[in-house]
Structure 1
Amino acid sequence: MYDINKLGKLTPFLAALALIIFFSLMQPAFLTWPNLWNIIRQSSVLLVASMGVTFVILIGSIDLSVGAVMTLAAVCAITLVPVVGEAGIVAGLLVGALCGAFNGILNAVLKLPSFLVTLGALFIFQSLALIVSGGRPLPWTTPVSSALAGGVVFGTFPKIGLWAIAILVVCAFVAKYTRFGQYIYAMGDNERTTRMSGISTVKLKVLVFTVAGLISGLAGILLGIRTFSAAPGMGDPFLLDTIAAVVLGGTSLTGGVGGPLRTVLGVLVIVILANGMTLLQVDSFYQIGIRGAVVILAVLVTTKRGRLDQIVK
């Protein structure tokens, strides 16, 4: 029997290191600053979005609506900016939090499986995003938010990377040093025992999903700033990438093991793999299959076989 904790910590680091060495040898342009700058930009939004998903998976649940929440929050924000100014950004964040609360209430209060709840919510939020945007891309024209998160700082470092680092630090602190974080790990390890110890698992679930929705909303807004637009479907690619990053980082789908700092490694593996294959001009059809195989391998390493039936609770 292997030690899942040791494997979960070591494997993502070795995978990231191996990919860096391989692509550096195969393509000299990989370690150039323009490409590293591109990797930072690509990984920043994914890292932020993955933080919320990390908390959800730590309690043994799943969130399939993250991409749709990102899209809805972004289009709501940019639609409201002409009316209420930069406060529209705050409104977009609140939309994300409300979406998360919606998922949490259906899952925790009505006892519906998180897999089915968030799958249904995905379509609802996608529909709302289409209605709000009119089915067309909206230009991102908010000067203050663009100044805060767009462009570079210190001459070369992307500002959006600083936002990703800040969110990571906050989430890592919450997970390790707060009572909220302790409750999350306890619930993921054994929900029944957590409930019997006097902790309201219903409130905890709702709060976790709400926080995840808020973070997803922020990720969507950062994506809008980075791409200078908010468009229907803009968050769709992040659905599977966020879950893959969390699992690749060593957080178990059954809950209770892992955390934000591990997710960083998963994000790096995802982004480095995609970036390196693009530099090597690997056919996009093959890229999809390779990334899928990597995710399956990560699940085999990080998942406790005896608890697979709890993944979609």
Structure 2
Amino acid sequence: MNSLLYQPREGVEFTQRSEIPLLKVQYSTFQTALFCLVRDWLKGKVGVGAPEEESVKNDITEVNDAVNGDGLKDVLDEETKPVYDEMVKIKVPGHLKVATSHRKWLRLTYEFLQKIGATFSDKMTALVRKHDLSKYTHREVLGYAVMFGDGSIDWRQLEIEAEKIEWDNTLHNHYAGNPHHPEYFYPLTEDGKRDKSVPMLKLDPENGKDYVDESIIDMLAARGERVLAKDPEINVKKWLAIEERYLFRYAEEDKVYVKECLKKVEKLAEDFLSDVENEDSFYGHFDDRAVVFKPLD
């Protein structure tokens, strides 16, 4: 396993498949086509939204080489070219763009939180670097492309069985390989629900708090990028107003910790942004909007 990716918890495995029903091909054929597609996307030969930062490019390249291209040929032929073209058609490059945009928002959110005074362990910078790199791998790209495409659509109601298979496969693998998701720690019970009897904070005393902190940064990054996308300015008060329905995934003790953290961040942001010079320092941090702190309507 590449050092930038995680292994599943004990008792959990990534799905193993020999065929891809959606593409009607052998798994190795799909994997080769994907390796070439990610490589071409990074070079700007297909799709848009590839990262400009060399360090980010290098991390994705490392994952693509080690995981997607592991032991496989790295050229398209008459067998793999149609699969490549079909993945372009179902917007796999669009998914890569969305994943890259979110990871950038995550890094910027982390920097914002640090600047206003939020504190994290020394591990967080490495966790942010690794965040969601699994979304560039053969285990996840198809399901995300099917469900969200290039980000212009929200959750779809999947009706085609092959698409449902891909989404279920992707979601299982993403949870299994990303400990910033509570689902990584909470095993599935026989009735299909998550066992939240033991919180992340206790299941992994060494790293659990860091993973919960990463989940908070992840939640804020997603909310900032999507929910506040059309707002003329980024109101931090609104940004932090996470609805209860987004917290149901946590065990009770983890949820209490998350709420306490959000309150602390709100106070830090209010104090920091009350200084006009500090407010001005964030202009253009995320995009061309000001970052402000205002009461909710």
Band the TM-score falls in, shorter-chain normalisation: under 0.3
Quick check: which has more Rg, 1 or 2?
Answer: 2
Q: Which has the higher contact order (CA 8 A, sep 6+)?
A: 1
Higher helix share: 1
TM-score, normalised on structure 1? 0.26
TM-score normalised over the length of structure 2: 0.27
